[in-house]
Amino acid sequence: ESSEKWILNVTAQTPTNIAVIKYWGKRDEDLILPINDSISVTLDPNHLCTTTSVAVSPAFTQDRMWLNGKEVSLSGGRYQNCLRELRSRASDFEDEKKGIKITKKNWEKLHVHVVSYNNFPTAAGLASSAAGLACLVFSLAKLMNVKEDHSKLSAIARQGSGSACRSLYGGFVKWIMGKEENGSDSIAVQLADEKHWDDLVIIIAVVSSRQKETSSTSGMRDSVETSPLIKHRAKEVVPKRIIEMEEVIRKRDFPAFARLTCADSNQFHAVCLDTLPPIFYMNDTSHRIISCVEKWNRHEGSPQVAYTFDAGPNAVLISHNRKAATLLLQRLLFYFPPKSDTDLNSYVIGDKT
Ligand code: 2P0
């Protein structure tokens, strides 16, 4: 009948986040519960973000999703966990004008379609799961009229991908590891909003556009099973760094922020090397960028730029302000000169191709 020919949709946009105190290692693989707290900064939504549209209609016969124009399967456990958690919290919805009425019970039977785009090349190996899963959970929650606050939604996004829970807030965000076995207290909280420290400028140096060889999920599983260093890190090092980092962010103390951020990135990669078999996420170009920034920071007397590397060779460079960012770009272009015919918008520092 005509009254059943409706479609209801919601579109949302979510930026990715970059950890300055890293998450690496789970204590529960299914619920995605980490072995330590982490802190991240959420990027400006105009860059590195995911746009997701979700729709529901009685005409849909199954849940389906398209990522960057290609259909992907929603049958994986992580997607299913998120969908189940959201459906169980859905509320009644009514739009009299359009003749749409969905009761709480109907949500269990109705199917959704999801269309998601990253505004950056997924192949560049830049964190895409964080923005993607956060956006999926947020847009579905809006569509299904889920009446939960951001922290509850973060616990659902966490079950899609750990780092995704931190993308539900802007500014600086802490993912609290929590104590509960069911994960109910493993949530993200905002430490400071996006206006608190808005003179920071983040530059991402794409070192290689190739896909990483070891996924974060399997890499951190191997680290938890084999690295002696990861235990020391999670128990002794990170808890102190979290307290220090919160204070440093509150005070906007850039030199201390840079020292902590660089040290934590380096320890995360040391844990990777301490894993059996060792995991190499950084390459020679990454190492050259570190040396370049370290030398410059020493020369300046107090750090002007912080570097941090995730599960790949690309450098995330956080500059104190626009002036430091301009000087940093000059240095990068000097040390890693592009070929004369390079399009600077897609210029990759280290690819030999
Ligand atoms: C982070 N990373 O804190 C750390 C630093 C990579 C290095 O979170 O298995 O894709 O989906 O929970 O979230 C990447 O791990 O892994 C990550 P899952 P995820 O940002």
Q: How far is the CA of 130 from the centre of ligand 1 (A)?
A: 8
Instruction: State ipTM.
Output: 0.99
Cβ of 38 less than 6 Å from ligand 1 = yes
What does the longest C-alpha to C-alpha distance in the chain come to? 74
Q: Which residues lie below 8 Å from residue 31, measured CB to CB, with a gap of 6+?
A: 159, 182, 183, 186
Cβ of 81 less than 6 Å from ligand 1 = no
pTM: 0.95
Q: pLDDT tens for the chain, 353 residues: list them.
A: 445 689 999 999 999 999 999 999 999 999 999 999 999 999 998 888 999 999 999 999 999 999 999 999 999 999 999 999 999 999 999 999 888 999 999 999 999 999 999 887 655 556 678 999 999 999 999 999 999 999 999 999 999 999 999 999 999 999 999 999 999 999 999 999 999 999 999 999 988 877 667 899 999 999 999 999 999 999 999 999 999 999 999 999 999 999 999 999 999 999 999 999 999 999 999 999 999 999 999 998 999 999 999 999 999 999 999 999 999 999 999 999 887 776 666 677 776 54
pLDDT at 1: 43
The DSSP 8-state label assigned to residue 344 in this structure reads: G
Return the structure tokens found at 55. 């729709």
315, HSE (Cβ side, Cα atoms, 13 Å): 27
Instruction: Report the CATH superfamily, name and number, of domain 201-346.
Output: GHMP kinase, C-terminal domain (3.30.70.890)
Question: DSSP per residue over 208-222, as a string?
Answer: --SPPSS-HHHHHHH
Helices (H), the chain: 77-88, 104-109, 129-143, 150-158, 216-226, 228-232, 238-251, 254-273, 284-300, 322-335
- Residue with the nearest Cα to atom 11 of ligand 1? 161
Cβ of 217 less than 6 Å from ligand 1 = yes
pLDDT at 269: 98
- Locus of tokens 């897609």: 346
Q: Rounded to the nearest 5 degrees, what angle is found at the Cα of 21, between the Cα atoms of 18 and 26?
A: 95
- Locus of tokens 């690309």: 314
pLDDT at 124: 56
Burial class from Cβ neighbours inside 10 Å (0-12, 13-18, 19+) for residue 198 reads: exposed
How far apart CA 118 and CA 98 sit, in angstroms, is 32
Give residue limits of the domains in the chain. 2-192, 201-346
Contact 13, 172 (CB under 8 A): no
Q: How far is the CA of 223 from the centre of ligand 1 (A)?
A: 13
pLDDT at 119: 85
Q: Which atom from ligand 1 is nearest to the alpha carbon of 160?
A: 11
How far apart CA 232 and CA 234 sit, in angstroms, is 6
How far apart CA 132 and CA 235 sit, in angstroms, is 30
How far apart CA 60 and CA 112 sit, in angstroms, is 7
Contact 118, 301 (CB under 8 A): no
Q: How far is the CA of 226 from the centre of ligand 1 (A)?
A: 18
Q: Which atom from ligand 1 is nearest to the alpha carbon of 129?
A: 10
Q: How far is the CA of 268 from the centre of ligand 1 (A)?
A: 11
Cβ of 311 less than 6 Å from ligand 1 = yes
Cβ of 161 less than 6 Å from ligand 1 = yes
H/E/C letters for each residue in 32-95?
Answer: CEECCCEEEEECCCCCCEEEEEEEEECCCCCCEEEECCEEECCCCHHHHHHHHHHHHCCCCEEE
- Residue with the nearest Cα to atom 8 of ligand 1? 163
- Residue with the nearest Cα to atom 4 of ligand 1? 23
Cβ of 162 less than 6 Å from ligand 1 = yes
Q: How far is the CA of 110 from the centre of ligand 1 (A)?
A: 32
- What is the CATH class of 2-192? alpha beta
- Locus of tokens 């991402």: 204
